[in-house]
Structure 1
Amino acid sequence: MDCGPKKFYHKHDFHTRDYIETYCSDKPDMVFTEDTLKFPMMNFHYVFSSGFVKGDVLIDLSIGSIIHHLYSACDVFKYLIILKHNEQCNMETSKWANTRTGAYDWKHASAHAAKLEGKSAQAQDKDEQLKTAISHIISCDFENENITYPVVLPLADCVTSIGILDCISKDEDDYMRNLEKMSKLLRPGGHLILIGVLDTSYVMVGGEKVHLLTFDESFVKNALSKLGFVIDYCAVQRRRNDSKLCDYKAVMFITACKTK
């Protein structure tokens, strides 16, 4: 295990396939299932099936090339736009969306999504439904005021994000700036859904230590409030595994409405 200087997700190479295999796969030795697969999918299913988060356009900005949290979204939104900060992650996501040779197999996630909906026999349908709903996969860069420059996207009804703010923000002020840029993708009255890990500092990916910003639940809630968001729903799950691959203490899921 590399104990050297931490790398930044958006500035250095990111081994997205290794990230998936380590933190999101169905391998017998994958100890993060409860935190990285079931907890996000359960909460996304809850907020989307409850009906208070809805619309036509959803924009997702998430770490690596993960897509498992979006299976519930395609039941609600007509158009899913996926933004990736890393070219390798962009290519890996496109490979899956277009059913190309060598694409990662997310059948364990689609099966779990179907199970959450009480339709276990329709796992393959969930996979195709999600692929059909994805309208664009676009590169983004938080160094720009418009993070999708030169592309100008329609304002979304919902923006979802797993882990991006954690890994691209070097400090709390940087987190606030990045959160504000993310919020500009969202229409007034729309919802922002964030998943992050609490009280952490790193995650190991491909034998390399990747930076994660250390923050707690109150920091995120205060940040959202300062930007005019009202929190609708929040769930925190204490860590369910014992591993030195990441030093987080809990996972947080939060849904907030943009009021202005």
Structure 2
Amino acid sequence: MASCTHKIYHVHGFDSRQHLERYFSDKPDMVFRDDTLIFPIENLAKTFSLGHIRGDILIDFSSGSVIHHLYAACEFFKHIIVLKASDQCIMELKRWLDSRTGAFNWEHAAKLHADVEKKSDQLQEKEGKVRSAAQHVVKCDLNKENMTHPIVLPPADCIISVCFLDFTCKDQDDYIRYLSKISELLKPGGHLILFGCLDMSYYVIGKDKFHAFTYDEEFARKALVGAGFVIDDCKVKKRTAVSDRTDYKAVIFIAAHKEK
């Protein structure tokens, strides 16, 4: 199937629950655990433990309805504003935030965070902190001048993005343009944390194959520097999962700050 026939995340939408079950659950057949859960959780815990990334407002741009990366962030920010591109992802996320029956169970991710931070006795407290901080969930459209129109977002101290650019960008021009729009939401000196999948062209949700923007570490670095960021840390982990549900070759973590 040619990439031009793949569905587009923010245009066609996908089943947000299947996305979570296939790529972020604790089911025995979920083969992506090392790459989608352990890799980001360990890098976030290490990065935030340094103590220089903190503040009042964190904005989260992430694909689907994932929240596992926010377990680390909730310790360092008073307010988390979550931006989503689809109504279904918003509904899925709010189901968990409101502790509704049938919400996706993220306890395995909370436990991973607690174990990494050596705070296993604070498991329930972790979930409560995320729910308390992430009270603002807003729909966004990166093609609009104000992506959250009519809401005007306050400048953020930090932005985290998990695969959002990977799923929404068609090409390099899109990536550079969207990165610049994201940068506009940051305070001077503010921090950007990116997780992505390198050399990926597709991922499968249910019976549908979705487009992914294909890029490598060199492009990601150049794009960030071109958008006015200084890269503080970059880690790349080669893929360990054996599956034809997606074809990424490695996962990448980048922590950077916006030049003042």
Bucket of the pairwise TM-score, normalised by the shorter protein? over 0.9
Q: Counterpart of 1:48?
A: 48
TM superposition shift of 1:183: 1.0
Instruction: Kindly report which structure 2 residues correspond to 1:87-236, keeping only aligned pairs within 5 A, or say none.
Output: 87-236=87-236
The Cα RMSD (Å) is 1.5
Give the structure 1 partner of residue 29 of structure 2. Answer: 29
Q: Give the distance between the partners of 1:241 and 1:91, measured in 2 at CA.
A: 29
Q: Which amino acid aligns with 2:156?
A: A
Displacement of 1:206 after TM fit?
1.5
Deviation at 1:11, TM superposition (A): 0.3
Q: TM-score of the superposition, structure 1-length normalised? A: 0.97
Q: Which runs of 5+ in 1 are unaligned?
A: none
Note closer, same or farther for the CA distance 1:4–1:221 as it changes in structure 2 (3 Å cut).
Answer: closer
Q: Is the 8 A contact 1:158 1:191 kept in 2?
A: yes
Equivalent residues of 1:35, 1:240 under 8 A apart:
yes
Which residue pairs with 2:72 in the alignment?
Answer: 72
Distance apart, 1:13 and its partner CA: 2.5
1:6 aligns with 6
Q: Which residue of 1 aligns with 2:60?
A: 60
| Residue pair 1:71, 1:127 contacting (<8 A) in 2 also | yes
Secondary structure at 1:131 match in 2: helix
* Contact 1:235–1:252 under 8 Å retained in 2: yes
- One-letter amino acid matched to 1:179: L
SS in 1 for 2:11: coil
Aligned partner of 1:6: which letter?
H
State the distance in 2 between where 1:203 and 1:185 align.
Answer: 29
Between the aligned residues of both structures, percent identity stands at 51
Runs of 4+ residues over 6 Å off in structure 1: none
1:4–1:209 contact (8 Å) kept in structure 2? no
Instruction: Give the partner amino acid of 1:123.
Output: L
Deviations 1:189-245 (A, max 9, x none): 000111110011001112211110000001011011111100001110000111111
Q: Which runs of 5+ in 2 are unaligned?
A: none
TM-score by length of 2: 0.97
Q: How far did residue 100 of structure 1 move?
A: 1.2
Partner SS, residue 59 of structure 2: strand
- Give CA deviations for 1:126-183 in whole Å, capped at 9, x if unaligned: 1111101113011000110221111001100000000110111111001111111111
